[in-house]
A and B are shown apart, each in its own frame.
Chain A
Amino acid sequence: DTGVSQNPRHKITKRGQNVTFRCDPISEHNRLYWYRQTLGQGPEFLTYFQNEAQLEKSRLLSDRFSAERPKGSFSTLEIQRTEQGDSAMYLCASSLAGQGGNEQFFGPGTRLTVL
């Protein structure tokens, strides 16, 4: 499978715990995005990387959230001290600058449930 992959696909955690999600973009895609989707809503932009540089962060991304893309390939999204309001689907997308109108390809998502 040469698409965007995300792990784990599901995560159940207790309030106050830390969680980390991983995204592997399509090979050679230099842009990587994180979005969050809650039930009945469309995805909301969280952050964006070009190669290893984090160039944009939404104000939705509180201090408890941190994202990295250390080698410009895979990315991790960590949530510290999870709250019930963090329960959502976390989607990763990647794109290649200048190709196909910069179409973003989405991964299957990690569904987080905070108890």
Chain B
Amino acid sequence: RKEVEQDPGPFNVPEGATVAFNCTYSNSASQSFFWYRQDCRKEPKLLMSVYSSGNEDGRFTAQLNRASQYISLLIRDSKLSDSATYLCVVNIELTGGGNKLTFGTGTQLKVEL
């Protein structure tokens, strides 16, 4: 079983739609949680951190359920520019305080006219 599981998609949605991505993780020792965005043939970039209380950044809302080991991302009013792969990421602290990021396979989103 993979440590972080995501539906690979693709999700093809019309512009303006609301789309939700889900992710589950297996390591209960995971300490922090993120969504990264990766454009085709580019490096991953941090989209947002995810907190148990839920957090929002503009059109993006992230939620964490530690008991269920479940993470979600909601994108409202999707734009063409949101087309990308969204990576669910969990973090475990390493020796010396560093951070090992474990990535899911990513969910591909295509927003269409």
Contacts and interface: CB of A to CB of B under 8 A. Distances in A.
Interface of A: 31, 33, 35, 40-45, 48, 50, 53, 55-56, 91, 95, 97, 101-104, 106-109
Contacts of B98: 31, 33, 48, 50, 55-56, 95, 102
Contact of A106 (B43, B95, B99, B105): B43
B87 interface: yes
B50 to A, nearest CB: 12
- SS of B interface (majority): strand
Contacts, number: 60
A56 B100 contact: yes
Contacts of B99: 31, 95, 102, 104
B46 to A, nearest CB: 6
B101 interface: yes
B44 A43 contact: yes
B105 A40 contact: yes
B88 to A, nearest CB: 8
Contacts of A109: 43
Contacts of A104: 46, 99, 101
